[in-house]
Amino acid sequence: MKIKEKIILTAVAMVMIILVGYNVYSVEGAKIEAARQAEEDARGEREMLEEIRSAEAREIAEFDRDYSALKDEFAVVVDELLDKLNSQISNTSELKEITQQRMDASKELKENLSQMYIPVPLEDYYEFEMKFLESDVEAVGQVLLYYKSGNYSTFDNREIDRAYRARSYWIRKAKAEKERVYGQYDLEYLLES
Amino acid sequence: MTKKLKSKRLKIILAIVYVFMTACIIFLVYLIVATCLVEKDRQAQLALWESQKKALSDERAADSDKMVDKDYPPYDITADREGVMDYDKMTAEDFFPLKLSIPKIDLEWILYEGTDTQTLKQGPGHIIETSLPGDVGRCTISGHRTTYGSPFSRIDELVYGDLVYLETMGSEVFTYAVKGQNIVNPEDVYVLEGSYKRELLLTTCHPKYSAEKRLIIIAELVNLYTFE
């Protein structure tokens, strides 16, 4: 083989190697670029989600602060009424009055809750809490009917039992949902307060 | 002679007056002492009852870990509606002595089982033949109106809706709401007979200082519902 041919073959081989190398380089580069881009997109998305998540967590914390204050006031009223009830009141008029006040306290809490801004993750909790308060009002209302009936031995108290059971059911549902959402947003510490 | 006779008569009259006044004073002193003793006894009984109740409560608290739901409380009617009273297994010993309270007339006495003379000297008593507290029928309590501390002296003031409490040492509270009152002859024992309602009867002599009639206060069991 002549030197000239060798040079040509070598040149062709080199060109081929360069072309293959370039191809490999460009394909791998594109892959790396795509991966980098994907990672960047994912990071952006993560940051965005994190932002949304932290915004939601903030909203939940704010809701918790406001609603807890209302519930604390409610608990104080309920405790006072329970103390009255346990102090051996002297007649059924007082009994009816205390029961009416207890029902009014629940109605007020329900009304206040309905006017609050509810963060999206707490929508289910809100629904359960409202149902709990509705059943609480209904149960106390049934008890009030019982006291007003003056017919204590023969009064059909199935409605009271039903309302009591509904109340227990919804309070458990609301509690479980609250714990779930707070856990999801790392807000468990709010459950302790 | 006449003057002497007059003086003698005067002496006799004075002696009678003196004896009468002495008798009155002795009777008055007796009444005061007796009332004080009964009141002291009542306070002592209440204190003893409270201490026994506390001891029982502490005992229950200590054993609470061993208890299962169905065992306690067996006849709690004031709290959860799921608590069911099991009357078949209960006897008078599970109830007495009870504390009887009527806030309207500031009445607070320890109530014993039985209405024999000795029991009624201690305070109001439950007529054995009548139903037990909380049970269907007429749980009847009898008490003195003017003697032995006169526990039922003011029960005539009770009107519709006034509440009467019976509390056991186990802290079970039976609350009754007054439905009305009735005056009957002592021989009208039919009033104690069964009723399909869960009722409480308080009986005492009527009118005051007489045993001619009986005053009956009729009350009905009312469940106190709590919403925590």
Confidence class for position B169, pLDDT limits 50, 70, 90: confident
How far apart are the C-alpha atoms of B118 and B123, rounded to whole Å?
A: 9
List pLDDT tens digits, range B134-144: 888 899 999 99
Mean predicted lDDT score pLDDT of chain B: 82
Considering only CB atoms, A91 lies closest to which of B81, B136, B163, namely B163
What's chain A's length in residues?
193
Task: Give the span between the Cα atoms of B223 and B228, in whole angstroms.
Answer: 16
User: A105 CB contacts (<8 Å, ≥6 apart)?
Assistant: A74, A77, A78, A81
How far is it, in rounded angstroms, from Cα B95 to Cα B175?
Answer: 14
Per-residue model confidence (pLDDT) at position A147: 92
Report CB contact under 8 Å: B225, A160: yes
Restricting to A residues 35-94, those with a Cβ less than 8 Å away from any Cβ of B are: 78, 82, 85, 88-93
Q: What is the mean pLDDT of residues B1-21?
A: 85
The residue with greater pLDDT, A87 or B62, is A87
Q: Does pLDDT of B113 surpass 70?
A: yes
**How far apart are the C-alpha atoms of A107 and A136, rounded to whole Å?**
9
DSSP H stretches of helix in A150-187:
158-184
Q: Is the distance from CB of B87 to CB of B95 less than 8 angstroms?
A: no
Averaged pLDDT, B182-190? 85
Q: What is the mean pLDDT of residues A52-62?
A: 86
B79 pLDDT tier (thresholds 50, 70, 90): very low
Distance between CA atoms of B109 and B159, rounded to whole angstroms?
A: 20
The first and second tokens of residue B33, run together, are 């002492």
**CB atoms inside a 10 Å sphere around CB B42:** 18
Q: Which of A86-100, B26-40, B71-85 has the lowest mean pLDDT?
A: B71-85
Domains contained in chain B, CATH given: 43-221 (2.40.260.10)
- Residue pointed to by tokens 């009424």: A81
**Residue B134 backbone class (left: φ over 0; alpha: ψ -120 to 50; beta: rest):** left
- Whether the pLDDT of residue A127 is over 80: the answer is yes
* pLDDT tens-digit readout, B30-63: 888 888 888 888 888 888 888 888 888 888 777 7
Q: Which two tokens stand for residue B153?
A: 């002296």
For residue B34, what pLDDT is reported?
82
Report yes or no: A162 and A153 within 8 Å, Cβ to Cβ. no
- Per-residue confidence (pLDDT) for residue B1, from 0 to 100: 57
Task: Quote the crossing angle between the two packed helices A123-149 and A158-184, to the nearest 10°.
Answer: 160
pLDDT at A137: 94
Question: What does pTM read for this prediction?
Answer: 0.73
Taking CB atoms and an 8 Å limit, are B225 and A89 in contact across chains?
no
> What pLDDT is attached to residue B93?
72
Supply φ then ψ for residue B189, to 5 degrees: -75, -5
Ranges A20-29, A45-54, B138-147: which has the least confidence: A45-54
Please indicate whether residue B106 or residue A153 has the higher confidence score (pLDDT).
B106
Nearest to A101 by CA among A84, A88, A116: A84
Tokens of B138: 């007429």
DSSP for chain B, please give it: -HHHHHHHHHHHHHHHHHHHHHHHHHHHHHHHHHHHHHHHHHHHHHHHHHHHHHHHHHHHHHHGGG--GGGS-TT--SS-TT----GGG--GGGTPSEEEEEGGGTEEEEEEE--SHHHHHHS-EE-TTSPPTTSSEEEEEE--SSSTT-TTTTGGG--TTBEEEEE-TT--EEEEEEEEEEEE-TT-GGGGS--SSEEEEEEEEESTT--SEEEEEEEEE-PPP---
Instruction: With beta carbons less than 8 A apart as the criterion, state whether A180 and A128 touch.
Output: no
Choose the closest CB to A153 out of B103, B221, B227: B221
Among all residues of chain B, which has the CA nearest to that of A88?
A: B103
Per-residue model confidence (pLDDT) at position B76: 36
More confident residue, B173 or B66: B173
Nearest CB neighbour to A88, from listed B101, B222, B223: B101
Task: Give the pLDDT of residue B88.
Answer: 57
What mean pLDDT do residues B180-188 have? 88
Amino acid identity, position B140:
T
Mean pLDDT of A93-121: 94
pLDDT of residue B66: 52
Whether the predicted pLDDT of B217 surpasses 90: yes
Across B168-182, average pLDDT:
89
- Is A153 close to B197, i.e. CB distance below 8 A? yes
Mean pLDDT of B64-68: 51
Selection from A80, A113, A73, A121 nearest residue A97 by Cα: A80
Q: For chain A, what percent of residues have pLDDT higher than 90?
A: 61
What sign has the CA pseudo-torsion A97, A99, A103, A105?
positive
Place of tokens 């000297």: B121
> What pLDDT score does B67 carry?
45
**% of residues, chain A, pLDDT over 70:** 99
> Is the pLDDT reported for residue B7 higher than 70?
yes
Q: How far apart are CA A113 and CA B113, in angstroms?
A: 53
Interval A22-33 mean pLDDT = 90
Q: Is pLDDT above 70 for B114?
A: yes
What ipTM was assigned to the predicted interfaces of this complex? 0.70
Measured CA to CA, the distance from residue B81 to residue A155 in angstroms comes to: 14
* Distance in angstroms (rounded) separating the CA atoms of residues A184 and A179: 9
**Among A5-9, A78-82, B50-54, B155-159, whose mean pLDDT is lowest?**
B50-54
Are A102 and A140 contacting, i.e. CB atoms less than 8 angstroms apart? Answer: yes
Contact A92 B177 (CB under 8 A): yes
**Averaged pLDDT, A150-167:** 87
Mutation target vs B (from A90, A99, A136; most B CBs, 10 A cutoff):
A90
**Interface subset of A 137-156, CB within 8 angstroms of B:** 139-140, 143, 146-147, 150, 152-154
Number of CB pairs < 8 Å for A and B?
A: 64
> At which residue do the structure tokens 């289910």 appear?
A124
Task: With cut-offs at 50, 70 and 90, classify the pLDDT of residue A193.
Answer: low
Q: By C-alpha distance, which of B176, B163, B159, B173 is closest to B220?
A: B176
Q: What average pLDDT score do residues B176-203 get?
A: 87
| Chain A residue with Cα closest to B135 | A153
Map tokens 């201690």 to a residue: B122
